[in-house]
């Protein structure tokens, strides 16, 4: 994986949202990388990064979007709990579960931030092709037409 579970927690949640260390599993990060990061950077560059090469690329450009996409994948699991009595929303004496619309708004904001950071990484890769010959901008999924809200964007 490109980042550790503890780093994903620090980058995606921050100090104001403390969560226990086991909240993010390695499988969560692997799923986020497979679904969101790999289609942009490609398998060859991904394997180079997993081998420990180009740590600054991971640190400066890929760690934050990986952490945010990991959060997007696990957030539903944090918003509900499954136990012996079925599925329920957590409820504490000093807090109550968020309504549906704020949850959707938060998800949209997380997706927008993660996409923006991943596009930043793709621009860096394209601008430094000599440093990352494994990166193929023609196979980069971001170099296709996308919809962000009411805006059509093409790379």
Which tens digits make up the pLDDT trace of 57-111?
Answer: 999 999 999 999 999 999 988 877 777 777 766 666 566 666 778 888 999 999 9
Whole-number pLDDT of residue 155: 52
Kindly state the percentage of the chain with pLDDT values over 70: 86
Q: Return the number of other C-beta atoms located less than 10 Å from residue 31's C-beta.
A: 15
pLDDT of 17 over the 80 cut = yes
Stronger pLDDT, 99 or 10, i.e. the higher one: 10
| Mean pLDDT value across the chain | 89
* DSSP helix/strand/coil, 82: strand
Stronger pLDDT, 148 or 47, i.e. the higher one: 47
Whole-number pLDDT of residue 49: 98
Strands 86-88 and 146-148: unpaired
Closest CA to 8 of 52, 103, 19: 19
Stronger pLDDT, 1 or 77, i.e. the higher one: 1
- Among 30-34, 81-85, 136-140, the minimum mean pLDDT is found in 81-85
Q: What sign does the dihedral 81-86-87-88 (CA atoms) show?
A: negative
pTM above 0.75, yes or no: yes
* DSSP helix/strand/coil, 86: strand
Is the CB of residue 125 less than 8 Å from the CB of residue 132? yes
Closest CA to 11 of 46, 58, 80: 58
What number is the average pLDDT over the span 117-145?
93
Residue burial 66-91, b: 16+ Cβ < 10 Å; e: rest: bbbbbbbbbeeeeeeeeeeeeeeeee
Q: Return the number of other C-beta atoms located less than 10 Å from residue 60's C-beta.
A: 13
What number is the average pLDDT over the span 129-154?
81
Whole-number pLDDT of residue 91: 65
């Amino acid at each position: 994986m490109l980042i550790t579970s503890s780093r994903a927690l620090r980058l995606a949640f921050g100090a104001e949202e403390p969560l226990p260390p086991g909240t993010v599993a390695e499988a969560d990060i692997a799923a986020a990388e497979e679904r969101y990061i790999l289609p942009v950077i490609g398998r060859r560059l991904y394997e180079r990064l997993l081998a420990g090469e180009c740590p600054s690329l991971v640190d400066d450009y890929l760690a934050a979007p990986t952490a945010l996409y990991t959060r997007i994948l696990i957030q539903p699991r944090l918003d509900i709990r499954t136990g012996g009595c079925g599925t329920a929303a957590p409820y504490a004496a000093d807090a109550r579960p968020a309504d549906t619309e704020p949850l959707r708004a938060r998800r949209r904001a997380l997706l927008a931030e993660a996409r923006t950071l991943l596009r930043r990484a793709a621009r860096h890769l394209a601008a430094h092709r000599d440093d990352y010959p494994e990166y193929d901008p023609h196979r980069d999924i971001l170099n296709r037409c996308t919809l962000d809200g009411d805006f059509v964007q093409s790379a």
